[in-house]
Amino acid sequence: MNQFEKLPVGADQELKVKCKECGVVYMANSNNEIRSMRRHMQSCVCRDTRNVGQLLISQDKGTLALSAKRFDAEHSRELITTAIILHDLPFSFVEYEAVRATYQYLHPEITLVTRNTLKADVQTMFSREKARIKSMLDLSPGRICLTSDLWTSIVADGYLSLTAHFIDKDWVLQKRILNFCFMPSPHTGIALSEKFYALLCEWGIEYKVFTLTLDNVSANDVSVDLLKNQLVENNALISDGSFFHIRCCARVLNLVVEEGLKDIDSVVKKIRESVKYVRGSQIRKKKFLECVNLMGLDSKRGLRQDVPTRWSSTFLMLDSVLYYRRAFCHLELSDFNYKDCLDLYEWEKAEKICEFLEPFYNITCVFSGAKYPTANLYFPTVYTCYLSLKSSERSEDAYLSAMAKAMLTKFEKYWKDLSLILAIAIVFDPRYKLNFVDYAYGNVYGMKGSPQFLEVKRNLDLLFTEYSRGKVFTTNVVTSLPTPIAHKSFYRGKPKY
């Protein structure tokens, strides 16, 4: 038995041997032990070292041991299915000849599935994940906030998304896409309302909904009114649905800024033409790059071309051009074909426009976050936006003043919808609380303890009472707040699907 080695005789005077491979100790004086040693020689996992790659080091109770890893066919299929879903691969991917050859090389025992089998695996995984999310929604201790949007594909097919935001049983903020489903035309308010209610019933959350955030289009307004009436009849909403409809803050801000940029100033037009000129040919790019290097500027920052449908791109274009201001001035001297360079007055005007748009761009970045934005972030930013417009309205610059007035008029149409529910949300932020709401309304309306602040406090008390009772009761909650200017009807835009 060359596999064993003798150990020194101890106080017990017993002859002991140890396996050279795994270190197992046997008593050599017993016949039973000798038979066990022979069996160990045949079954020792450390004896066969011809394929070391199949052995893994594992730790059990502080000791190291060698064990062979077994191939799990079911787990392998699940990994393939996950890869297909995550990377948006076609089902036929598993039937590619080179892919099959790779799998067989990695492990000969792997089961190569067909596209139909993979499709069934995807459907099985979808059903399992849907049941898991539905369980999370059922176990959620609070109510669920929903967001939705509607898109039209390149082949004119409509698709509706529904996303849930909620606190799970472990008090962790969760965001889950419940549906991304086909939405046939016409996209009327009645059709959208029926679709929303069907999805709520499918997930079993028709009695747990708190708010629904939608884009600012007329069809959505109709659908929300119909859906709210249906849920109120079932006694399923807080405060008779007074806080049910939330307008998309990012969309509202976009409408406000677009209103101010309708009449683009000649300065912005000349900047746009300057960027087009520089990026028009490779020779111009090279010449501009030489000017950048001569001025000691960072060439990697680059120029940005704006997109007419995205006002934020106009701000980024202005910001990039202002950085390369000296390079453009030098290009005017070295290139006689460049005719759109700004003069000193126009450069100063461009700086004012860029400075005016910067807070709105920063707010847009806050609103556009995928995971971190919560309700407590919105009121301070919206309040800051309002004060910025009021301040710019009194600007001595006629262009900025006209732009601020146009934007303020649009903002006033949505301020009363945004201020109440978002002001209630900010109260729960320990950095602000109720005193900040009083301070913010005091700056907007010129007095502390304003009627608007008292209305927020009253509705907050009503919400607390309703939650403390643990059931829905009918109370008329006034959600409209007086605005500094005369009341005007809401903007009713056409659907832009």
Euclidean distance between CA atoms 228 and 241, whole angstroms: 6
pLDDT band at 28 (very low <50, low <70, confident <90, very high): low
- Residue 344 DSSP SS3: helix
Q: Quote the tokens at residue 254.
A: 């976009």
State pLDDT tens for residues 70-80. 777 888 888 89
pLDDT of 371: 65
State pLDDT tens for residues 405-431. 888 888 887 777 666 777 888 888 888
Average pLDDT of the segment spanning 25-54: 63
- Residue 118 DSSP SS3: helix
pLDDT of 42: 66
Euclidean distance between CA atoms 279 and 324, whole angstroms: 14
Average the pLDDT over each of 101-115, 377-391, 471-485 and give the range with the smallest value.
471-485
The beta-carbon contacts of 7-13 under 8 Å, at least 24 apart in sequence, are none
Q: Quote the tokens at residue 298.
A: 């960072």
State pLDDT tens for residues 141-190. 889 999 998 888 888 888 999 999 999 999 988 999 999 999 988 888 89
Can you state the percent helix, strand and coil of the chain, rounding each to 5?
A: 55, 10, 35
- The pair phi, psi for residue 196, each rounded to 5°, is -60, -45
Residue 251 identity (one-letter amino acid) = R
Euclidean distance between CA atoms 243 and 368, whole angstroms: 22
Average pLDDT of the segment spanning 260-275: 83
Average the pLDDT over each of 4-18, 349-363, 377-391 and give the range with the smallest value.
4-18
Euclidean distance between CA atoms 382 and 251, whole angstroms: 12
Closest CA to 103 of 118, 120, 88: 118
Q: Quote the tokens at residue 203.
A: 């997930």
- Is pLDDT at 386 greater than 80 in this prediction? yes
Residue 176 host element (H or E):
strand 173-182
Closest CA to 271 of 303, 234, 230: 303
Euclidean distance between CA atoms 121 and 99, whole angstroms: 18
State pLDDT tens for residues 299-335. 888 888 888 777 888 889 999 999 999 999 999 888 8
- Is pLDDT at 472 greater than 60 in this prediction? no
Most confident of 23-27, 43-47, 434-438, 470-474: 434-438
- Is pLDDT at 13 greater than 80 in this prediction? no
- Is pLDDT at 121 greater than 50 in this prediction? yes
Rg of the chain over all Cα atoms, to the nearest angstrom: 34
Euclidean distance between CA atoms 68 and 42, whole angstroms: 16
pLDDT of 52: 45
pLDDT of 489: 33
pLDDT of 419: 67
pLDDT band at 18 (very low <50, low <70, confident <90, very high): confident
State pLDDT tens for residues 285-301. 999 999 999 999 988 88
Average the pLDDT over each of 52-66, 78-92, 137-151, 225-239 and give the range with the smallest value.
52-66
Residue 495 identity (one-letter amino acid) = P
Q: Quote the tokens at residue 224.
A: 């929300």
Closest CA to 418 of 393, 372, 384: 384
Average pLDDT of the segment spanning 208-223: 88
